Amino acid sequence: MNRSTFLKTTAAATAAAVTAPLDQLFASGTAAPHQLPALPYAFGALEPWIDARTMEIHHGRHHQAYVNNLNVALATAPEHLKALPIDDLMRRIGEVPADIRTAVINNGGGHANHTLFWTVMRPAREGNAPVGRLADALTRDFGSADTFFSAFDRAALTMFGSGWAWLASDAQGRLLVLSTPNQESPLMQGLTPLLGLDVWEHAYYLHYQNRRAEYVTAFRRIIDWDAVERRYAAI
Ligand SMILES: [Fe+2]
């Protein structure tokens, strides 16, 4: 069995193992509340900065597992919570019953964070830089784009263990950099995440091993600033 066949076989086995109980949990003809979104580009589109195999495993196994486990956790949740889009569910985490709240934070956060992550990256380009009203706001709130990048990189590099670095906005459009541990989302703090960098080892270890700083630096080349700007404009 070659590597490609192995990946497909193990992924199919994993999906089958999880699908059976999900079908039973939502057997009334209702689809599971959350689904894995398709990647908006090919697995290899971000090479050489993020390799295709990392993307394939990260999206197809890690993100899929968050979605599956979230659906399992929500099986006993009130119907109005099952019907919420994932970002709204994370904003309203305080309404989630205590017995499933940790599972929803871990797996709902994982689903929300990765869904954003895929959409704020694109193939590398020269001179990649913030654009539009967001670029103006970065200068207003950080002093310069370089100062923003310093703060963002520091957030990514000083996160001990697994977590995320974020550029986020408050309700008034003020920008801030923060980090969150594990799969916690800025949405849980009433903030709107605009740009997120996954610094779990599963996001970079195959290519960079323990060299997180190289991965953080490489990320600048593949940020889709047009997508980040659109997120900011929607606030
Ligand atoms: Fe991840």
The identity of residue 121, as a single letter, is M
| Ligand 1 centroid distance, CA of 151 (Å) | 21
Percent of the chain with pLDDT over 70: 87
pLDDT band at 8 (very low <50, low <70, confident <90, very high): very low
| Ligand 1 centroid distance, CA of 167 (Å) | 17
Give the CA radius of gyration of the chain: 18
Q: Are 182 and 137 in contact (CB under 8 A)?
A: no
pLDDT band at 2 (very low <50, low <70, confident <90, very high): very low
Domains and CATH numbers, the chain: 3-31+51-119 (1.10.287.990), 132-233 (3.55.40.20)
Q: What's the confidence (pLDDT) of residue 31? A: 79
Q: What's the confidence (pLDDT) of residue 28? A: 57
Q: What's the confidence (pLDDT) of residue 22? A: 59
**pLDDT, tens digit, 9 for 90 and up, residues 88-119:** 999 999 999 999 999 999 999 999 999 999 99
Shortest CA distance to 122 belongs to which of 179, 183, 58, 40?
A: 40
Q: What's the confidence (pLDDT) of residue 58? A: 98
Q: What's the confidence (pLDDT) of residue 17? A: 41
Q: How many helices (H) and strands (E) does the chain have?
A: 12, 3
| Ligand 1 centroid distance, CA of 54 (Å) | 10
| Ligand 1 centroid distance, CA of 94 (Å) | 24
**pLDDT, tens digit, 9 for 90 and up, residues 17-59:** 444 455 556 655 567 999 999 999 999 999 999 999 999 999 9
pTM for the structure as a whole: 0.89
Q: What's the confidence (pLDDT) of residue 154? A: 98
| Ligand 1 centroid distance, CA of 198 (Å) | 6
Shortest CA distance to 15 belongs to which of 75, 50, 67?
A: 67
Q: Where are the beta strands (DSSP E) in the chain?
A: 163-169, 175-181, 192-198
